Amino acid sequence: MLKTNQKNVHAFEIEKQDPKAVIEFLEKTMPFCNIFSLYLNTILN
């Protein structure tokens, strides 16, 4: 999990110069993060 986060942060740093690229990157990663957090919540609760 930590390795994935570090990769995402690194990718975000690379794409910071281009706002469109950042938005596309967030659109790709955010749904996955939401699904993952829901998945974790169902396991923990």
> Is the entire prediction scored with pTM above 0.85?
no
What residue type is assigned to position 40 of the chain? L
Please name which of 36, 24, 34, 1 lies closest in space to residue 11, comparing C-alpha atoms: 24
Residue 15 has pLDDT above 60, yes or no: no
Write the CA distances from 45 to 31, 37, 39, integer angstroms: 21, 12, 10
Q: Give the residue with greater pLDDT, 35 vs 12.
A: 35
As a whole number, mean pLDDT of residues 39-45 equals 83
For the chain, domain boundaries: 2-44
What residue type is assigned to position 41 of the chain? N
pLDDT number for residue 11: 58
